[in-house]
Chain A
Amino acid sequence: MARRTTEHQTRVGPTSPRARRAGALDVDALLADQRTGIIVCCGSGGVGKTTSAAALALRAAEQGRKVVVLTIDPARRLAQSMGIEALDNTPRPVTGVQGSGRLDAMMLDMKRTFDEVVVAQASPEKAKQILANPFYIALSSSFAGTQEYMAMEKLGQIHRDAKKTGDYDLIVVDTPPSRSALDFLDAPERLSSFLDGRFVRLMLAPARGPAKLMTAGFGLITNAMTKILGAQFLKDLQTFITALDTVFGGFRQRAQQTYSLLQADGTAFLVVAAPEPDALREAAYFVERLSEDGMPLAGLIVNRASPAPESSLAAEEALAGAGRLRRDGNGATAAGLLRLHADQVRLVEREHGLRERFATAHPQVPTAVVPALAGDVHDLEGLRRIGGLLAEAGR
């Protein structure tokens, strides 16, 4: 996870004379490029990552590639239509895909993936002990970052298998709905540093070394914790930490492997954002981070954009007209149409301004703007439409 701290060009200031725009993101070229082996869809929560990932995967498959898509928390109906509502944590073929390619899909089962790692890393007896520990249960089901970490783990697994069997030539990955898009990249690091934390080391000390490591401070803490949480709490905790100690190394190593996989040439990151300040700010952080970490960014998808009005009538003019009509007391329909138009123009102008701001600061990022559909996307037909819109945005 070495960072290149020198020479990286993360930001080209708005006043930079060299700031040339990268233009549109050509999705079809990306999918058709046989060197593209992994596509990661990132972005903050609620922007349409899962839908974009599924739509891209379907489009690639229908253009002849052998694709697997790893989704996280898809909407129930979308999962059903892809035949992945059963959580068995392995890819299943999607029916209804047209053309010569293939599409398998799966939905990440975070806890199960974690359990499998433990079972693979520890002796059967140790594994049993860990799996039953309440702290492990908490860690594996709700630690902030576990989902990200497990998504990476699963990606690593699928990638290793695909290399052996040749089942897939493209893996599309959705990322967890976290606050910050960066969480996906930070999670493995966060988990290791957590497991390497002072307290964990301290709790391990008595098991590992001479009792003299039991400092006065430690006594103070254990007393305090017993007082607040009860003695059982501390006992469970100690069991958990000692048991996990044996599998730490394995965890860290695997996370590092997957991280370097993400830095490799065949990987393409697509940052998904909604045309809103928070989502675009997150996207900007993410873009900067990718370039710092030497990770390949393919482009930005601005999802659910408001469709641009066809006529050039300005919002103010439309509103003035609507006002005049209202004063006259007739022409309610025309007035309504004008107000509607003004609202649409304002919305589009605002979104445009937000996108411009992003593009000025990050001119090197190719972008695709996808208009919002009227309803939810919950079947292959809907995914196909999104895929088409994505490709169209690049033309």
Chain B
Amino acid sequence: MSDWSEARLHVVTGKGGTGKSTVASALALALAHRGKNVLLCEVEGRQGIARMFDVDPLPYGERRLTTGLPDHDDTGGGKETLGRVHALHIDAESALLEYLDMYYRLGRAGKALDRFGVIEFATTIAPGVRDVLLSGKVYEAVERNSRNKGAIDYDAIVLDAPPTGRITQFLNVGGEVGGLAKVGPIKTQSDTMMKLFQSPRTAIHLVTLLEEMPVQETIDGIAELRREKLPVGGVVVNLVRPRDLSDDDLAAARAGTLDREQIESELKAGGIEVTPTLIDGLFHEAREHAERRALEDEQLAVVRGLGVPTYELPRMAGGVDLGALYELAGLLREQGMA
């Protein structure tokens, strides 16, 4: 049973470089089971999804990407039990043209806007306008406009969102756009969007590392989301170091009191050719690791004390390829995030 079964829209934010795109992708895979359709959206124009899944750059339009993570009890075979992940790369200019077309039937004027560089202008100068266009498209994918004929009704939408520092501005579109467009349809539109973003049908997850700065940013981010009445989801702790040593061993490694003789004989029993350099090396590695783990554990305690569900993902030593993504997806599902 998922912790977020009420949520249709999963927003994944976090400090830059902590693994937002990785987690968003893994979450989409994890949510896509039992025939469900999941849409993975990106809004920063970087074609991160294409790179992550090793496909050609995505156009503005929903594309079938891959099949979701199978269930444990899926014995393979039955295709209908697998879910599907779709992808959408949203750029502000296309979103504006689509918006104008959908709501104003501005066929010719829309083209003129483009030709005179208005769209480029509006989307560069007024980040609020940009945001409302981008999040507006996400909104449309969740609620599906009746004018968008033949569109898929998704069971879940995962947004690889802007970083924590910009997320409330991105979603709380009323404020920023209000400054520029105090009245008019864009304002009305952004008010409707706010209703979705502030409802339990949205969950805003934060990705963090177990380091001081990202954890602090997570704390600040949660406070800010709450202030804006935006629904805080879970905290995904990413890049967690291996947990191969017990607490006692960690303490001994730090204090330099690991039993050399015992370990030597254990290693021999394990069929390892033991040399002094090897033991020194292993002890040195253990010590460095233990020091970092101690810092990590401090931060982990802080994160766990935040009062929101937390999920942990290991640091994949070989990097994140498609296989690793499915593995991470499996871990998220096991921990109840999907």
Contacts and interface: CB of A to CB of B under 8 A. Distances in A.
Contacts of B63: none
Given A197-B121, A224-B112, A346-B318, 12 more contacts: A46-B15, A46-B17, A135-B126, A138-B127, A198-B117, A227-B184, A310-B280, A313-B281, A328-B269, A333-B258, A337-B283, A347-B317
Interface in B252-302: 258-259, 262-263, 266-267, 269-272, 275, 277-278, 280-286, 288-289, 291-292, 295
A199 B121 contact: yes
Interface string A207-227: 000000000011011011101
Contact of A138 (B126, B262, B270, B272): B126
Interface in A214-247: 217-218, 220-221, 223-225, 227-230, 232-233, 236
A338 B270 contact: yes
22 contacts: A138-B128, A142-B127, A194-B124, A197-B117, A198-B117, A202-B116, A220-B112, A221-B109, A223-B109, A232-B182, A309-B285, A311-B282, A325-B269, A331-B270, A334-B269, A338-B267, A338-B270, A343-B317, A346-B317, A374-B288, A374-B291, A376-B211
Interface in B1-49: 15-17, 44, 46
Given A199-B121, A343-B317, A224 B100 contact: yes
A9 to B, nearest CB: 28
Interface in A336-395: 336-341, 343-344, 346-347, 350, 374-376
Interface stretch (A114-122, A167-175, A314-322): A314-322
A332 B248 CA distance: 12
B318 A350 contact: yes
Nearest to B216: A76
B112 A339 contact: no
A75 interface: yes
B277 A220 contact: no
B271 A339 contact: no
Contacts of A335: 244, 266, 270
A11 B304 CA distance: 48
A341 B285 contact: yes
Interface in A27-56: 45-46
Nearest to B252: A333
A56 to B, nearest CB: 21
A310 to B, nearest CB: 4
A144 B120 CA distance: 13
Residues of A contacting B: mostly: helix
B179 A233 contact: no
Interface of A: 45-46, 75, 134-135, 137-139, 142-144, 177, 179, 194, 197-200, 202, 217-218, 220-221, 223-225, 227-230, 232-233, 236, 274, 277, 307, 309-311, 313, 317-318, 320-322, 324-325, 328, 330-341, 343-344, 346-347, 350, 374-376
Given A199-B116, A307-B288, A333-B245, A341 B281 contact: yes
B266 A331 contact: yes
Contacts, number: 196
A272 B160 CA distance: 26
Contacts of A310: 277, 280-281, 284-285
B180 interface: yes
Contact of A334 (B109, B187, B266): B266
Contact of B285 (A233, A340, A374): A340
Contact of A350 (B44, B121, B288, B317): B317
Contact of A134 (B180, B184, B263, B317): B180
Contacts of B211: 376
- Which 3 A-B pairs give the minimum distances between C-beta atoms? A334-B266, A310-B281, A331-B266
A233 B187 CA distance: 12
B263 A337 contact: yes
B263 to A, nearest CB: 5
A217 B245 CA distance: 71
B181 interface: yes
A23 B100 CA distance: 56
B322 interface: no
A217 B116 contact: yes
Contacts of B44: 179
Interface in B308-328: 315, 317-319
Given A179-B46, A224-B100, A334 B125 contact: no
Contacts of A46: 15-17
Nearest to A281: B51
A173 to B, nearest CB: 20
A336 B246 contact: yes
A334 B271 CA distance: 11
Given A75-B213, A310-B284, A374-B288, A220 B108 contact: yes
A340 B267 contact: no
A26 B108 CA distance: 60
A225 B118 CA distance: 9
Nearest to B108: A220
B152 interface: no
Given A221-B116, A311-B278, A334 B181 contact: no
Contacts of B117: 197-200, 202
